[in-house]
Amino acid sequence: MNIILFEKDELKSECIVLTDHRAKHIAKVLHSEPGDCVRIGEIDGKIGTGKVVSIQNRYPFLVELSVSLSARPAPPPSIDLILAMPRPIMLKRILSQVTALGIGTMYLVNANRVEKSFWDAGILNEDEYRPHLLHGLEQAVDTRLPEIKIFRYFLPFVEEYLPDLGTQYSSCIIAHPDSPNSLSDCLKNQDGGILYAVGPEGGWVDFEIEKFLAAGMKDFSIGSRILKVDTAAVSIHGRISQLLG
Amino acid sequence: MNIILFEKDELKSECIVLTDHRAKHIAKVLHSEPGDCVRIGEIDGKIGTGKVVSIQNRYPFLVELSVSLSARPAPPPSIDLILAMPRPIMLKRILSQVTALGIGTMYLVNANRVEKSFWDAGILNEDEYRPHLLHGLEQAVDTRLPEIKIFRYFLPFVEEYLPDLGTQYSSCIIAHPDSPNSLSDCLKNQDGGILYAVGPEGGWVDFEIEKFLAAGMKDFSIGSRILKVDTAAVSIHGRISQLLG
């Protein structure tokens, strides 16, 4: 935890009182004492410092902070991700990893090779996925919560939603091992945001690739090595960030 | 599992007999029948096909394959990694992820912020780490097992081993958030291999950075976002691969 995040409505008269894992972190990891300052941030707001007014450094933990907010976090690279719904345990990891790397919106979509049972997973409830996003922000010292948009049905997403969505980006690209195009071929125009798509284990089926291309996306390959979804999502984010410079 | 790997000494008269998880995979995931061909590879050797001669497709699984090897796997990007010894559960994931991405040698080294207990972990025994490397190769359809070299003490590694080692690479680079240099600044010469270093949670201490620089490495930063070790190792591998083209 490299920043202590709080909700806007926790702030009262420029003070917050923490009693949960954040209080424990300040007490047991940071070993803060009254008068010390810790880095804090308001979720979807500014970053600043919290001065420890009082602290109870054993259970039940309690930390009172006097809050001073100053700066917006540095803007992340403008990268968004379309992800075929992965196994829930893998989704949790991807949520915090791409949040840490910096992402605006993640579109979770269905695909032929997505197991139907994945759509019953609790992680699709905001109450359950939000902590993984916060975890990524706490890691990366950011306050901007990514948006998560869930599309249980493939065709409405790709036929009705994606064509309009795509016009908001400078490049919309889809990773596909069989593609003859390189990533740098597809990112010639880097003035706006990038939307990249990563398929399920086993890949997109041909029909899905055709639909994505018809919706205006360009296919690319990063080589013949077949990667797990989490490795691909993180590695391609790195590649795009490098090309954006 | 996108390729079935076997040890050289399992091959007898151009045949292998499998009775373990590989046999189960061929029976229950691939649903192979006699006459079908599966992709196979000899560890550190060639890739080819295994024709199913006979199969017992329920427990106890048994598959007999007639082996025909033809091609070497495509060469991976020539990237090696120095990694400060991470938490064992994270090391397992990194081992299979960077193996899947393609790596030659991983140097596991000590650092000030490495917890001493990590060095007692069973994962440092070859019997325990090798399956995670094989897992990465099975994912990426490769046969080249990375080398793992373990350095329990930091100073002998950085003072005695690294200066000579570094001469074998075109660039030796170390990720450090405070660095003013970009990754592309450090990889101007891309004719040979790249050796990159990723620190522990909390980062390298100043003394360690000084020692790495004195040994000939160049420091670089990929921005102000603080990443977990596994995210950093995979993301930077992607960035380097993109620059190598």
Looking at the structure, tell me whether residues A90 and A183 fall in a common domain: yes
Q: Which helix (H) or strand (E) holds B92?
A: helix B88-101
Place of tokens 């691969």: B241
pLDDT at B190 over 90: no
* Residues from chain B contacting residue A78 (CB–CB below 8 Å): none
For the segment B35-49, what is each residue's pLDDT rounded down to a tens digit?
999 999 999 999 999
Give the separation between CA A22 and CA A227, rounded to whole angstroms.
35
Say what the pTM is.
0.96
Tell me whether residues B100 and A227 touch, CB distance under 8 A: yes
User: Do B139 and B223 belong to one domain?
Assistant: yes
- Domain co-membership, B10 together with B114: no
Q: Cβ–Cβ of B237/A235 closer than 8 Å?
A: yes
Q: Do B140 and A227 touch (CB under 8 A)?
A: yes
Under the banding of pLDDT at 50, 70 and 90, the label for residue B188 is confident
Same structural domain for residues A57 and A91? no
pLDDT tens for B110-162 read: 999 999 999 999 999 999 999 999 999 999 999 999 999 999 999 999 999 99
Instruction: Report the share of chain B in percent with pLDDT over 90.
Output: 92
Query: Tell me, what's the pLDDT at B77?
Result: 75
Rounded Cα distance between B194 and B243, Å, is 11
Report the SS3 class of residue A149.
strand
- For the segment A180-189, the average pLDDT, to the nearest whole number, is 88
Please give, rounded to a whole number of angstroms, the shortest distance from the CA of B136 to a CA of chain A. Answer: 9
Q: A235–B241: do the CB atoms touch at under 8 Å?
A: yes
**CA neighbor of A159 nearest in space, from A108, A208, A219:** A208
ipTM of this predicted complex?
A: 0.95
At A76 the pLDDT is 74
Tens-place pLDDT, residues A10-30? 999 999 999 999 999 999 999
The 10s digit of each residue's pLDDT in A36-90 is: 999 999 999 999 999 999 999 999 999 999 999 998 887 877 999 999 999 999 9
- Does the pLDDT at position A148 exceed 90? yes
Q: What is the CATH number of the domain that holds B44?
A: 2.40.240.20
Residue B191 has pLDDT above 90, yes or no: no
A228–B184 CB contact, under 8 Å: no
For residue A192, the model assigns a pLDDT of: 79
* Residue range(s) defining the domain that contains residue B54: 4-71
Predicted pLDDT of residue B76: 74
Check pLDDT > 80 for residue A174: yes
pLDDT at A196: 98
- Please check whether residues A89 and A61 belong to one and the same domain: no
Tell me what pLDDT residue A72 has.
87
**Bridge partners (DSSP) listed for residue A56:** A62
In this structure, are B105 and B215 located in the same domain?
A: yes
Instruction: Report the distance separating Cα A150 and Cα A134, nearest Å.
Output: 18
pLDDT, average across residues A195-199: 98
- Selecting from B100, B142, B241 the residue whose C-beta is nearest the C-beta of A231 gives B100
One domain for residues A229 and A110: yes
Question: Per DSSP, which regions of chain B are E strands?
Answer: 4-6, 15-18, 37-42, 47-56, 62-71, 79-84, 105-109, 147-151, 169-175, 193-198, 218-220
Given pLDDT bands bounded at 50, 70 and 90, which one contains residue B192? Answer: confident
Same domain, B92 and B194: yes
For B185-194, what is the mean pLDDT?
Answer: 82
Instruction: For residue A184, give the CATH number of its domain.
Output: 3.40.1280.10
Judge: A226–B101 Cβ closer than 8 Å, yes or no: no
Count of structural domains, chain A = 2
| Domain co-membership, B160 together with B110 | yes
Nearest Cβ partner of B225 from A101, A227, A243? A101
Closest residue on chain A to B225 (Cα): A140
Q: How far is CA A39 from CA A10, A135, B28, B81, in A?
A: 16, 15, 52, 32
Domain end position, chosen among B29, B54, B71: B71
Where a domain ends, among B71, B88, B104? Answer: B71
pLDDT band at A189 (very low <50, low <70, confident <90, very high): low
Query: For a pLDDT cut of 70, what percent of chain B falls above it?
Result: 99
